[in-house]
Structure 1
């Protein structure tokens, strides 16, 4: 493709949530035409997309229509039907990251097998078919034992931490009693959870973002601090693993590699997301080039932008408050924006639910302590209720 034609490409995005919206915001700065597919008429990305195909994520004809209208396809989450994407690729459509990478990553057991085969350090794991397999896993790894759905889980959904033998049957029942594929992992007594956002272009160019330090509550990401407060040795190991992982999957676009840091400073890969990630939201204000801009650059054959950190940055998620599900109402926005170093992102979801990701805020400061202090204060000022 001629250089002059690069910016005329039509980008199709499967998914119109907040990740799709933030991709579009960057794509429009560069002049791209963007089409989304999402079953929700007023999804976050619908107000800024050039076109919106309203169809379920498993609607093959809808996805084919998106492909026909686009020059290339990408996606904002991994729980989509991979078979239609593989068919489309065989027919000559451009899809990034590749359906082959997605097929492996969206099954956590297959993902771990590929990582282990390539000598990437991961927690010990086994496949689970029945209750006896869970008991065997407990015998092998001891308690606590992490039971996981191999497909479909997010924000801790599809996970169950089994603390003793009495919880085995309850865990097995809660995760579908074998109706969905399961795996068990040895619990890692980690001292930190970290993640690395890495981007790879079509020409193989790779850029890696600084290591982020993540705080979770109830398996939902609450806060990301960048740079992570880790040793130089851990930082070097995490960056090396990010390079190796994206090479293994021949990834194009943004990938997030979530990792554990154990007590002895060993770094283990937990999970991979082949898309922009919640822990990379800080990059909108905190990096020279955000993860969303670099994702668009990568999949459209544009040169990658610098991933350097502008200043220490803290991102905190804004979750729907506990209570009845209903129309979203934002309170405290004026007070929050009175904090001069803080930016607020409201996703535009019409309905607020308890623990639903409704937005995030980012604070940039001269040091990580100052950023964390202001970000915490900001998160206490703003509320999203129904």
Structure 2
């Protein structure tokens, strides 16, 4: 695919949150003009976007207008009306990742089916229509089970752990009583969670980043450590899985492939995100090419960049604390005094408990040192709501 002069190329982004903002920072370095679509007037990306369409994400006409203003469209989250993207592709507008990729990934059941058909290992699963389907799955998989909404869930929302038959009915009701599609998975008592950030360009070129080891708290990503403490054989297998995923989904841009490492040292693919991912934020300081620069390169037909890890890195999210209110940053100066620390504040106007308000990354001569310094810095900085 050939483009006109890259410096005159226009990128449209659906979403103006922190991921959109970090995409724009890299796109601007390379001379691109960027328009965002976001309903929030003072969203994180507003101050650096060349143009901002203030409209709801489900506003079909606004998305079409974004396409008319852009040479290509990308997005920072999955919950988009895929039908309007299909219509735009039919009119020869460029959408990356494609509407097909997004449509499959939006539905976790379809996503798992595609992976299974391609012989990529996933936890055992089945579709759920009634509580009896969950009980039948339990006869096959045993308890505990994980009940999931097929669409719309994130950061643990839309999931319910079922430990026994007595909990089936409540879990079914909690997730909408079948009003939206549900699936049930065999619970995996994993020993590690890892993710691979991988990119595929318009020419089919692929680049894979080192595996990151993820730690979650209350179903929200708390920390990513790189390199993951896994064997070289397991790392190679994880990279192969990620490349297979990119090919199966015809991925263009950055994809994140989350995986479980089981007690038997086997890999199971958990979920896929067709965009830059929280667990890839370490690449900004930790790798030669960040995931955000790589995404821009991939969707604009530029050569993909070097994914080498420069130094061991640890990324920690900075979550909102205290009450909901106007965001106030406390402790930035002492946090930055810790060796190797870089702080990213997303400039969200309102802080809420558990909301992703920023992150910090530490690079160091060893992973142990990076972990130690990340802990120290994260205890010094806070973003809280202020009346």
TM-score with structure 2 setting the length: 0.98
Give every structure 1 segment of 4 or more consecutive aligned residues whose post-TM-superposition deviation is greater than 2 Å: 1-4
Matched, 1:324 2:323: yes
Match of residue 240 from structure 1:
240
Match of residue 165 from structure 2:
165
What CA distance in whole angstroms lies between the structure 2 residues aligned with 1:39 and 1:179? 27
TM-score with structure 1 setting the length: 0.98
Matched, 1:107 2:107: yes
What CA distance in whole angstroms lies between the structure 2 residues aligned with 1:318 and 1:139? 41
CA contact (8 A) 2:2 2:301 kept: no
Match of residue 295 from structure 2:
295
Tell me how many residue pairs correspond in the alignment: 385
- The CA deviation string for residues 95-147 of structure 1, in whole angstroms up to 9 with x for no partner, is 00000010000100000000000000000000000111111112221111000
Match of residue 7 from structure 2:
7
What CA distance in whole angstroms lies between the structure 1 residues aligned with 2:325 and 2:169? 35
- The CA deviation string for residues 361-386 of structure 1, in whole angstroms up to 9 with x for no partner, is 00000100000100011111001111
Match of residue 254 from structure 1:
254
User: Bigger shift: 167-176 or 78-87?
Assistant: 167-176
* Pairwise CA distance, 1:234: 1.0
What CA distance in whole angstroms lies between the structure 2 residues aligned with 1:377 and 1:254? 31
CA contact (8 A) 1:318 1:358 kept: yes
Match of residue 350 from structure 1:
349
Match of residue 374 from structure 1:
373
Counting only pairs closer than 5 Å after superposition, residues 131-146 of structure 1 correspond to structure 2 as 131-146=131-146
- The CA deviation string for residues 148-172 of structure 1, in whole angstroms up to 9 with x for no partner, is 0000000000011111122111111
What CA distance in whole angstroms lies between the structure 2 residues aligned with 1:2 and 1:136? 53
Counting only pairs closer than 5 Å after superposition, residues 298-309 of structure 1 correspond to structure 2 as 298-309=298-309
CA contact (8 A) 1:130 1:178 kept: yes
Match of residue 69 from structure 1:
69
What CA distance in whole angstroms lies between the structure 2 residues aligned with 1:301 and 1:370? 38
What CA distance in whole angstroms lies between the structure 1 residues aligned with 2:281 and 2:254? 12
Match of residue 332 from structure 2:
333
* Pairwise CA distance, 1:7: 2.6
CA contact (8 A) 1:6 1:301 kept: no
* Pairwise CA distance, 1:3: 6.9
Counting only pairs closer than 5 Å after superposition, residues 23-102 of structure 1 correspond to structure 2 as 23-102=23-102
Give the 3 Å change call, closer, same or farther, for CA 165–211 of structure 1 in structure 2: same
CA contact (8 A) 1:215 1:222 kept: yes
Counting only pairs closer than 5 Å after superposition, residues 179-194 of structure 1 correspond to structure 2 as 179-194=179-194
* Pairwise CA distance, 1:340: 2.6
Unmatched segments (≥5 aa) in structure 1: none
SS of the equivalent of 1:328 reads strand
Question: Could you say what the CA RMSD is over the residues aligned between the two structures, in angstroms?
Answer: 0.9
CA contact (8 A) 2:6 2:31 kept: no
SS of the equivalent of 1:320 reads strand
CA contact (8 A) 1:58 1:81 kept: yes
Matched, 1:359 2:358: yes
User: Bigger shift: 161-170 or 293-302?
Assistant: 161-170
Unmatched segments (≥5 aa) in structure 2: none
What CA distance in whole angstroms lies between the structure 1 residues aligned with 2:237 and 2:339? 35
